[in-house]
Chain A
Amino acid sequence: MVKQESESANRPDNTAFTQQRLPAWQPILSAGIVIPGFVLIGLAFIGIGVALLVTSRSIQVLELDYTGDSNGSPCSSCSQSDIANCKCSLNFTLTTLFQGPVFFYYGLSNYFQNYRRYGASKDDNQLYGDLSSFTSPSSSCSPYNYDSSKKPIVPCGSIANSMFNDTFTLTRTVSGTTNNVTLDGKGIAWWTDYNIKYRNPSVTPLKNAFNGTVKPINWAKPAYELDASDRSNNGFVNQDFLVWMRRAALPNFRKLYRRIDASGDYQKGLPAGNYTIDITYNYPVRAFNGAKKIVFSNVSWMGGSNEFLGIAYLVIGSLCVVMSVVMLIVYAKFKFPDEE
């Protein structure tokens, strides 16, 4: 026996794995699988597509451009001049109830927040509240890390420097009287941004942390005075700042500005009526052929209004069905006579 074993010392293992005989599923694209499979997928997709389309249709969106590049528009005077805090207002009328919850966005187009060097121009540690980064901002912020007198800029970098600074108030005119629509600015940024990613240095008062630093060049007010109305909404955890710092993916984007506070008359959304938006026009966009707009929108389970996905599902679904029909014809013509 021993001899026998030693004789076949080189004998390979006879296992399914080594002999490449592992049990396997071998799908072959045959009529039996492909046609029913396509029909099933197609029908499912058409179903989803219809549901998506219906949902999307139910979403109301109101977009108001206020760039003011055409002479007739209300903000054209502001867009021409470089006056700070130029005021203009937009009027619009809702004929039906704008279902709540209503979100109030500002939109920019032709604005490249995704520009590579722009995106890198920030200092995460500084924004995390690291005081050493206050005095010496990262070189990634360059050339927005020090001002001309070599003082560190906080918050440094191009993103912060270019922060959107138009402000809006919404008023509703009901039978001659104008009353403010309350806008809720809390919780418009990501929870993780507000609580984890961005932090103010744990110095009280906050102002002291910024000693020896300067505000970004384009800013009117330093970071610790961004929101005069709410002390906690200042510094790096300012909601508007957080929203701005989350760079948009595409050159045409909107960013959440406020929510319509669902209280009083506005519990169900914006009721029908005449509204006015008062705009403090600061942000120049005409230099790069940009546009600014205001968007009111409500959301569904699938997010904002987007008919595309529903249509895409419908198209792909019907394509699948069409293909299965084509294949059925093909099979019928070329295959079945042979298979008999």
Chain B
Amino acid sequence: MARHSEEDAGMAKAPPAARQRKKKPKENKTRTVHANILHDCAKGDENPNRHYANNKIKTTKYTVLSFLPKNLFEQFHRFANVYFVFIALLNFVPVVNAFQPELALAPVVFILSVTAIKDLWEDYRRHRSDKEINHMDCLVYSRAERRYVEKYWKEVRVGDFIRLRCNEILPADVLLLSSSDPDRLCHIETATLDGETNLKQRQVVRSFYDLDCEFDPLKYNSIIECEKPNNDLNRFRGYIIHRSGRRDALYKENLLLRGCTIRNTEEAVGIVIYAGHETKAMLNNNGPRYKRSKLERQMNVDVFWCVIILLVMCLFAAVGHGLWMFQYGDNRPVFDVLSPEGTNLSPIMSAIYLFLTMIIVFQVLIPISLFVSIEIVKICQVYFIHQDMDLYDEETDSHLQCRALNITEDLGQMQYIFSDKTGTLTENKMVFRRCTVAGVEYSHDANARRLAMYQEMDSEEEESMSHGGTLPRRDSVTSHQSARVVLRSQSTKSHRRTGSRAEAKREKDITPDPKLLDKVNDCSSQMDFMRFHSQPMSQLPSDLSDIIDFFIALTICNTVVVSSPNQPRHKVTLTCSGQKHQFGQTSVRSERDCLWTGPSSSLITNRSSNKGCSSLLSSPSAESTLTKLHEEQPSGGLEQAFSPIPPSYDGKTSWNLDEGELRYEAESPDEAALVYAARAYKCSLVGRLPDQVIVELPHLGKLSFELLHTLGFDSTRKRMSVVVRHPLTDQITVYTKGADSVIMDLIKPPDTGRKTLKKIVCRTQHYLNLYAADGLRTLCIAKKILSKEEYACWLQRHLAAETAIQGREELLFESALQLETNLHLLGATGIEDRLQDGVPETIASLRKAGLQIWVLTGDKQETAVNIAYACKLLDPEEELLTLNADSQEACALLLEESLHYIQSTPFLVHRLGLVIDGRTLAYALDKSLEDKFLAVARSCRSVLCCRSTPLQKSMVVKLVRNKLKVMTLAIGDGANDVSMIQVADVGVGISGQEGMQAVMASDFALPRFRYLQKLLLVHGHWCYSRLANMILYFFYKNAMFVALIFWYQFYCGFSGSAMIDQWYLIFFNLMFSAFPQLITGTLDKDVSAETLQQLPQLYVNGQNSEEYKPYMFWMNMIDAFYQSLVCFFIPYFAYADSDVDLFTWGTPITTLALFTILLHLGTETKTWTWMNWMSIAFSIALFFTVALCYNASCPACYSPSNPYWTMQRLLQEPLFYLLCFITPIAALLPRFFYRACQGTLFPSPVQLGRQLDKLPADIRRNILSLSRVKVGSPLCPKLPFLSLAKASPKGYYKKDGRSVSGSKQGPLLQTDEAKRSPLQPTDSDMHLSDLYTPAPSEVDTLPYTKDNPALSGELQTSSAADSEHLNKTIEPSDVNLSSCVTSTPLPAQADSVQLSMPPDGASQCVRYTRNSEERLKSEHAVSSAHRTEPPTERPLQAASFSLN
């Protein structure tokens, strides 16, 4: 899976090298790197590498000088900022100004400076970290001093030679030229780059491979030609040209990437290829993504409406003012002010001026602080999500990461979830379960029992964990006996962490099947015997040789690296203790090997004398090998091979070949699982070098396989191969491991005579199907023996392909294809990928929450379906609609049929599950069919897409998102999910086994799948409802405040005069009313976390946007206008016809508005913590403090209002307090009344959830447990809200599926069909034969005759009889693999409708099975129908489904 992902990563990524800074003078596709030391004297322009970026990095956006202009420029990209600056500037125009111009600037300056300070701080942090990184040390070769000298990272240039020591971080992308490692390897850890913790091997460039002495930079005189910098971590192509003119290809295996850490290697030397910003790590470093949430989009619409309202109000005032002026005519009143020139302004002109003035006065309506407030609230929400203990995984010490800061509220509005399977729903911890070798199945029952025991312990553990505290952790697992106790304490915690022992134990510990173990022993002892007697190995019985080959293939056909557990970062080398090891490498090669090869002549020396084909054991003459082996034998002995603890002769170095001690670091977990499995059969991988693999076999001891080639795994080939020289037979052997669907096609067609082979293939396929049905991941193992000539021929082509720069991938692919044909099937394995904790529960509750869950997986159909059952994605009560087609037309027909079926049985809609495979999906995603596909998929409760490619995954997500206009969430863990994650509205990455690519692309990264439940149901719900309420409140607040001034215009001749002082007007939003809403927006909880999780139905609230519907904006506006009317007219009448002056009247109105607004917030606040109280108290205190200070500060300032001592006087007036009592109450009375009534009469589910929260804990638990059993059942009328759940139409679970679909719907359906058929003559073309009714169905044009319940019993018997008959007639020679499906009963699988297309696409069948027993029978019926009826007699025959 991992490698699969790696290959796909390229696709998902942005086009490479988009950020390339400098362009070379001549534009070509490569970069040429010369060694700098050759040009040290030639400074400046002469240096051929001068055009390349140096290693100094600068990730800051601004410099001291450029900060202000650049930051302002960026901020003005936000339209709102431009608008507010425009308004502030408008104030400087005397004709239209409304406020003191400087004062009017205050808010916009405040907002801009807050953002600027935030940006500045971020940039400063970047600057500091840049500086730190730039000043790290590394060793660079200096020509002058003829040694490596310490230099800062920033001084490193392209073409420099640098020396790297163990555990050092790479400063730049370096081409590896030399390594202290005897195998010319260098191990690196790429965790910082992709998060993968396993070590990766890097190789010294081939031409420097055989240097005996230390690499001398002075002697280097080659030129490197390579690609331009790009961001693809997994690609590096180029070649090195030596002085001699020889060219050597360079691969990604030669390149050490910046940011990686050198491990296991004492010293390495390399030349810098890419530096600084051109390194792959930096090119991959793109900042967080900006997405706009649904809520924000909706909000922007309403901001737009606010603008319209503003304009209407301004226009109204302008017209009013014009008319007001007009009524006076030429006879100007004494209070009129002439224009500065002393003339009368015409009413029209003054109306136009007034329009602009009004825009300034009413500017508050467009909430300037809204954007800032939303940002603050979102940051707080992100903080809280980060801090949630429940989303923290103790195992990996990781918590949820929010990578996109501005879409938290989208989490509360999801409608569709697209999930990857492997690693997301499952652990991606592979456990070897079963295998088939040479057609014989080894069930590994003991192993299964052991695993079951773990499982049991897990659940026990969880129980005890939930009741009590944590059990003490113990560390070492020494024996199986003590493991039990320790496992109990650890297994629950340690499912994922690679270092976690208990989990590792589960994977590594395989109880071998005794039968198979015997055979292996048998076989190897025979081989040993034969080797001893120099007999050719080909005399071995084929089944035995298959067995041993099978295990050899498991052991070597991979890229697993061996390391010791104590220091997992240190490679286990096959060297003797004589060699100096600075970093405590553990030598695992047994002493006897050393003794036998001689203390100084280790493998390296041997190899260096015999470069290219370096195996010790396969040295040129087989004879000598055998002699050596013979010599070896006495010292080792048979017993030793089996003894659990090998003898250790030296006290200082304890080499334990004990199985528990070797650790395998694999790129994908299934590889490791297979290696561990092989080790259980004593075929253990001991070491891996670039050109050889050392394997220890029982009786035979260590064998070194010369590794000629490794053809890595990729998602198109779906297999990997190794080409080795077999040390015993000296044959060139290809071992291939891959997906069964691919391998089976590559198996050599069995010769006509050899029935056994056919039988083996058939049986293996049979078992493969069984495995798949059990939800196991299947792999086929095959081998092929090449003759020397064949190999030479292939090698030539392959080498040519390897060195090509253009089209290398295609050539390599073809070359691999040539090799991997005519294989000999060895066997197959079944690996279990355990479900993650809590996946079924999570899926169940997410589904209850109204979320549609689609699983998109690359796995094969059977595996996927079974995992889907296991994780409750598919329900046993559900009918399964399986779509398999292999042509566009077939797919169209299938979709048509399914649609008919769905439409004709509307009651079944919610009980359908859809399974579709990748090929059919490709057709279904076609423009012409996508609508139909969606129509079918929509009516299914769950959808499962198998065998889908990463591209298809993203296409499906895109299709659903765009066509259905729904909110989509994609969750995945591997690189193959990246495109899907990027397309979805919210992308969630699982930070698990498969590296960080998914996490890097995601908006949120979770440690485990089950955390999705709390993330969505609790945090999503909260974030959404908080933010929605806050936005609505903002609109309300501003409208309410502005409307006060608007009403006043009727009493001041529409002159733009405001009774609210300019200070209050400007700072009201910014200061007085800002804090409480921020607190409420961050902390308010409408329903407690527990209730939200127990009642997932409450999530529907966010899905339907119930907190913030478009009409709510208008309701809020109306409420705002009503409240402002109250706040305006109560003081108006209270002071009518009195001697009150403008601000003595306006200040109470401001105060009242503040109280009303705060009280309004109070009615909307659901939880009152001390922070809410504090914030409200603070707001009021702040207002009065500011007012009192302001009104006392300067008697002659603040023109034109100058409200000196107003507030002080007001506080002495009883009338002021009387107003303060009545107005907020009167203003909020309707809202309060509405809330109270609505909460009682028709409470929303959320309100009921709150009521539930208030109940005592035990009663609540009772109600909830009740509700879980009977969701929506009429038996619990007390909880009407439970029936609001979408997905649970009443009575479905109560009735037998048959009685619904069969007896009731049947006749109705038939009449429907009958009516329809004449209208649609095409129907008759589409004969659908029913499997339950063999003969009559052909006459019957009705597709679903199984609806006739009377027939069904009889039919069952007949089909049963058929199947019996069939069992007898099956011949082993029958290669029709589908007929082998006489599988074990599927776990609780019941109804299934299977629509499938035979390969020719000419005919089709609808299979409809009722329950598990029938299903089994019907499967036979498929085959029987197929076989017994001659195809010619059935123009449209029922074809068997073929899944493979």
Contacts and interface: CB of A to CB of B under 8 A. Distances in A.
A246 interface: yes
Nearest to A128: B1196
29 contacts: A8-B397, A9-B397, A13-B387, A14-B389, A26-B1167, A26-B1254, A41-B1225, A45-B1221, A111-B335, A112-B333, A115-B1057, A116-B1052, A118-B336, A120-B1200, A192-B1195, A197-B1205, A247-B1141, A247-B1142, A248-B1139, A248-B1140, A249-B1145, A250-B1051, A250-B1140, A287-B328, A309-B1222, A312-B1133, A320-B1229, A327-B1237, A334-B1240
B1237 to A, nearest CB: 6
A263 to B, nearest CB: 24
B1214 interface: yes
Contact of A26 (B1052, B1146, B1168): B1168
A80 to B, nearest CB: 15
Interface string B543-587: 000000000000000000000000000000000000000000000
Contact of A335 (B337, B1202, B1240, B1253): B1240
B1229 A12 contact: no
Given A249-B1140, A302-B1218, A162 B1226 contact: no
B334 A128 contact: no
A20 B337 CA distance: 59
Contact of A28 (B399, B1089, B1204, B1250): B1250
Contact of B1139 (A25, A105, A142, A283): A105
Contacts of B1213: 303
Given A114-B1057, A287-B333, A306-B1138, A197 B1195 contact: yes
Given A116-B357, A312-B1130, A45 B1195 contact: no
Contact of B1138 (A12, A301, A304): A304
A312 B1222 contact: yes
Nearest to A107: B1137
Interface string A121-165: 110110110100000001110111000000000000010001000
Interface residues of B, number: 93
Point out which of A117, A122, A138 has the most chain B C-beta atoms below 10 A from its C-beta: A117
A121 B335 CA distance: 10
Contact of A190 (B94, B337, B342, B1205): B1205
Nearest to B1052: A114
A111 B333 CA distance: 9
B1250 A327 contact: no
A121 B397 CA distance: 69
A99 interface: no
Contacts of A301: 1214
A288 B1138 contact: no
A230 interface: no
Nearest to A8: B397
A153 to B, nearest CB: 12
A176 interface: no
A10 B1209 contact: no
A48 B1221 contact: yes
Interface string A160-181: 0010000000000000000000
Contacts of B18: none
Nearest to A15: B387
Interface stretch (A202-210, A253-261, A265-273): A253-261
B640 interface: no
Contact of B1236 (A115, A193, A197, A327): A327
Interface in B35-62: none
Interface string A15-49: 00011101111111111001000000100010010
Contacts of B748: none
B1136 interface: yes
A302 B338 CA distance: 40
A228 interface: no
B397 A7 contact: yes
B1195 A249 contact: no
Given A116-B1055, A162-B334, A331-B1240, A28 B1254 contact: yes
B381 to A, nearest CB: 10
A336 to B, nearest CB: 11
Interface of B: 94, 98, 328, 331-342, 357, 384, 386-389, 392, 394, 397-399, 1022, 1051-1053, 1055-1057, 1059, 1083, 1085, 1089, 1130, 1132-1142, 1144-1146, 1166-1172, 1195-1197, 1199-1200, 1202, 1204-1205, 1209, 1213-1215, 1218-1219, 1221-1222, 1225-1226, 1229, 1232-1233, 1235-1237, 1239-1241, 1247, 1250-1251, 1253-1254, 1277-1278
A20 B1089 contact: yes
Interface string A218-236: 1000000000000000000
Given A253-B1139, A301-B1214, A113 B397 contact: no
A302 B1213 CA distance: 7
A190 B1209 contact: yes
Contacts of A284: 334
Point out which of A26, A192, A256, A334 has the most chain B C-beta atoms below 10 A from its C-beta: A26
Contacts of B1144: 249
A246 to B, nearest CB: 4
A262 interface: no
Given A12-B388, A316-B1225, A142 B394 contact: no
B397 A11 contact: yes
Contacts of A124: 1195-1197, 1199, 1202
Interface in A178-194: 190, 192-193
